[in-house]
């Protein structure tokens, strides 16, 4: 029997009124139909429909340093054309207030549901505000947008993507003229302009046909510039399997690698073409269990040297390498492993400048930078901060993001990172060595540092997360932390910080361990807590005892969080 509710309260009247007002303004027939059906059922007393309706109108997606990201659907608490049109109008007003009309704005989009429509809506609003939008000619990776902002001397850029989020999500990333994502205070200034946008019908819009198209020459310039990164090396003998994870990376990845002289990638056919439903994976993130199973099987059949994976918008890269000791014969390298391998490779090859990483990434890069006598910086979490480091030469974060060419792509770039990794792996192969050999050699520099992660999901991933549960876990961890984890003493608990800047209370905690540390923070994009763990032992002959120790720490930490289940 369907549960019913009393729809005669003032709260219900306000909710129904907000839904009807949204219906009147929404230009999208699909979300109008969805909302009309939900509204009718809720008005008839259906409690489930009322709950869904309330969730869509209980607040709205907040614009911040990550732009916008959320589930697709009708209402202010969802990603939809109304939300995007208002965000575009606010960004346009910000650009006019800061720089005057006539500003170039580069606009890209991936293959997710509604991505192209959101990009076209943004172009129309920019035209209506007197700016000059340049639309990508087709679905392309996020790094191509970041490159285009600099190449076109744009004052801003917009990328419509939800990166590696589930299929039901989409997002709206904003870049400014330096080719990097927005940070404070610009996020607050743009948000204020969004809040000031009046009725949608009064927002002027041009015709998308009048928007300019990002020229193919810009894409060709990216391909050519990428090849220049590996021009000094002649080693190209490498057999690699590649997966685009149902995203938009394959076309550009193939062009970049073959233009640089590498063989055609052995592509996972089931995941090669863009598909917004991501049918072969539970989560389209190469880090998630099971996401690389098809790649593992294909690589085994082709006796591949390495597996390279991009996430759906190809700004991240994951690696796996043959390892007889690993289950299935393949070992997936962590983001820290890859970041330190690339950092060590570039530093020893003569790359100068500052090598940077985030406060939740390995401290091994500091040792690498010290040995190479190059600069080092540690920033707040996210590439929006790493990209702001002066004289940046290389940057990485543990979430499989790497910047190997900051002068041309001032953001993480899974395509050029894959290219430099392929060059490194081919050079090692010519010497009869592997990436695992390089990792073992690097351990002598970093002190056998080992990192791992633990994700604590806070409920059904199909539902909105419970912020109260997250706050309770963080508060308890701060006030009543475990004394030991896996036999390792917890010596201190404090806030995450970098360069003297503390994060807000309960937004991030750092536990000092005997020989390492743990960082715990809420995810900015998913309903979960993320735990980052690092241990090291310079006295050990290799990683083996550290690997065993960190596994015990992780198991005990997971058990500690289990009390909140």
Among 83, 84, 112, 452, which residue's Cα sits nearest to residue 248? Answer: 112
At 69, which helix (H) or strand (E)? strand 68-71
Q: How many angstroms separate the Cα of 419 from the Cα of each of 244, 270, 301, 331?
A: 15, 23, 23, 20
* C-alpha–C-alpha distance, residues 354 and 374, integer Å: 6
Supply the angle between the helices 142-151 and 216-228 in degrees, to the nearest 10.
Answer: 100
**Residue extent(s) of CATH 3.30.310 domains in the chain:** 450-564
**Residue extent(s) of CATH 3.40.120.10 domains in the chain:** 61-213, 220-446
Question: How does pLDDT run along the chain (565 residues), one tens digit per residue?
Answer: 355 555 556 668 899 999 999 999 999 999 999 999 999 999 999 999 999 999 999 889 999 877 999 999 999 999 999 999 999 999 999 999 999 999 999 999 999 999 999 999 999 999 999 999 999 999 999 999 999 999 999 999 999 999 999 999 999 999 999 999 999 899 999 999 999 999 999 999 999 999 999 999 999 999 999 999 999 889 999 999 999 999 999 999 999 999 999 999 999 999 999 999 999 999 999 999 999 999 999 999 999 999 999 999 999 999 999 999 999 999 999 999 999 999 999 999 999 999 999 999 999 999 999 999 999 999 988 999 999 999 999 999 999 999 999 999 999 999 999 999 999 999 999 999 999 999 999 999 999 999 999 988 775 444 444 677 888 899 999 999 999 999 999 999 988 876 555 555 547 899 999 999 999 998 766 678 999 999 999 999 999 999 999 999 999 999 999 988 7
For the chain, report the end-to-end CA distance as a whole number of angstroms.
30
Q: Are 245 and 280 in contact (CB under 8 A)?
A: no
Burial tier of 370 (Cβ tally within 10 Å: 0-12, 13-18, 19+): exposed
Class of CATH domain 220-446:
alpha beta
In Å, how far from its chain's centre is CA 314? Answer: 10
Helices (H), 141-284: 142-151, 186-195, 216-228, 250-259
- The pTM assigned to this predicted structure is 0.93
* C-alpha–C-alpha distance, residues 501 and 498, integer Å: 5
Class of CATH domain 61-213:
alpha beta
Q: Phi first, then psi: give them for residue 414, nearest 5 degrees.
A: -75, -15
CA-based radius of gyration for the chain: 24
Tell me how many degrees the CA angle 62-65-70 measures, rounded to the nearest 5: 45
Catalytic residue among 115, 148, 163, 358: 163
Residue 213, beta-bridge partner list? 135
Q: How many angstroms separate the Cα of 258 from the Cα of each of 242, 266, 532?
A: 13, 12, 36
Residue 454, beta-bridge partner list? 531
Burial tier of 98 (Cβ tally within 10 Å: 0-12, 13-18, 19+): middle
- Residue 499: Cβ within 10 Å count: 10
Q: Are 160 and 115 in contact (CB under 8 A)?
A: yes
Topology of the domain covering 450-564: TATA-Binding Protein (3.30.310)
- Concatenate the DSSP letters of all residues of 101-170 into one string: S--EEEEEE-SSTTHHHHHHHHHHHHHHTT-EEEE-SS---HHHHHHHHHHTT-SEEEEE--TTS-TTEE
Per the listing, tokens 């391998």 go with 341
CB-based contacts of 543-546 (< 8 A; 24+ apart in sequence):
543/440, 543/443, 543/448, 543/450, 546/448, 546/449, 546/450
| Catalytic annotation present for 163 | yes
- Residue 251: Cβ within 10 Å count: 18
């Amino acid at each position: 029997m369907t549960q019913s509710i009393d729809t005669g309260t003032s709260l219900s009247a306000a909710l129904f009124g907000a839904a009807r007002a949204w219906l009147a303004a929404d230009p999208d027939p699909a979300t109008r139909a969805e909302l009309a059906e939900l509204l009718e059922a809720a008005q008839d007393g259906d409690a489930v429909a009322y709950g869904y309706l309330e969730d869509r109108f209980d607040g709205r997606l907040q614009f911040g340093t990550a732009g916008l990201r959320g589930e697709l659907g009708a209402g202010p608490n969802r990603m939809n054309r109304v939300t995007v049109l208002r965000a575009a109008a606010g960004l346009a007003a910000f650009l006019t207030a800061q720089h005057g009309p006539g500003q170039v704005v580069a606009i890209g989009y991936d293959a997710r549901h509604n991505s192209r429509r959101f990009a076209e809506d943004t172009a129309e609003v920019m035209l209506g505000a007197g700016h000059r939008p340049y639309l990508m000619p087709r679905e392309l990776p996020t790094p191509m947008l970041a490159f285009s902002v600099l190449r076109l001397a744009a004052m801003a850029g917009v990328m419509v993507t939800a990166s590696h989020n589930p299929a039901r999500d989409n997002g709206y990333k904003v870049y400014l003229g330096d080719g990097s994502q927005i940070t404070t205070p610009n996020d607050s200034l743009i948000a204020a302009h969004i809040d000031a946008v009046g009725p949608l019908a009064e927002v002027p819009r041009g015709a998308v046909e009048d928007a300019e198209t990002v020229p193919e020459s810009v894409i060709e310039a990216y391909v050519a510039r990428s090849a220049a990164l590996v021009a000094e090396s002649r080693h190209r003998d490498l057999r690699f399997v590649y997966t685009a994870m149902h995203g938009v990376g394959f076309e550009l990845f193939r062009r970049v690698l073959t233009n640089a002289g590498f063989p055609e990638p052995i592509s996972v056919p089931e995941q090669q073409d863009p598909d917004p439903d991501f049918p072969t994976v539970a989560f389209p993130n190469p880090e998630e269990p099971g996401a690389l199973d098809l790649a593992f099987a294909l690589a085994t059949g082709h006796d591949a040297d390495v597996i390279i994976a991009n996430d759906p918008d190809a700004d991240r890269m994951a690696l796996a390498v043959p390892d007889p000791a690993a289950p299935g014969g393949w070992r997936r390298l962590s983001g820290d492993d890859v970041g330190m391998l690339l950092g060590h490779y570039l530093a020893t090859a003569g790359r100068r400048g500052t090598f940077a990483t985030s406060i939740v990434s390995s401290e091994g890069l500091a040792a690498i930078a010290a040995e190479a006598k190059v600069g080092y910086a540690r920033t707040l979490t996210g590439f929006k901060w790493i990209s702001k480091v002066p004289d940046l030469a290389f940057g990485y974060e543990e979430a499989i993001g790497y910047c190997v060419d900051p002068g041309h792509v001032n953001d993480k770039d899974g395509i050029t990172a894959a290219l430099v990794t392929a060059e490194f792996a081919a050079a090692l192969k010519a010497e009869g060595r592997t990436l695992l050999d390089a990792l073992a050699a690097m351990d002598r520099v970093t002190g056998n540092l080992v990192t791992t992660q633990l994700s604590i999901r806070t409920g059904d991933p199909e539902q909105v997360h419970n912020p109260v549960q997250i706050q309770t876990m963080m508060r308890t961890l701060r006030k009543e932390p475990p004394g030991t984890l896996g036999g390792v003493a917890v010596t201190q608990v404090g806030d995450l910080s970098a360069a003297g800047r503390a994060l807000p209370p309960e937004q991030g905690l750092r536990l000092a361990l005997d020989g390492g540390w743990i960082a715990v923070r809420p995810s900015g994009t998913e309903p979960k807590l993320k735990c980052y763990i690092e241990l090291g032992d310079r006295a050990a002959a290799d990683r083996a005892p550290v690997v065993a120790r960190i596994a015990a720490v992780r198991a005990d930490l997971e058990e500690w969080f289990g009390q909140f289940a």
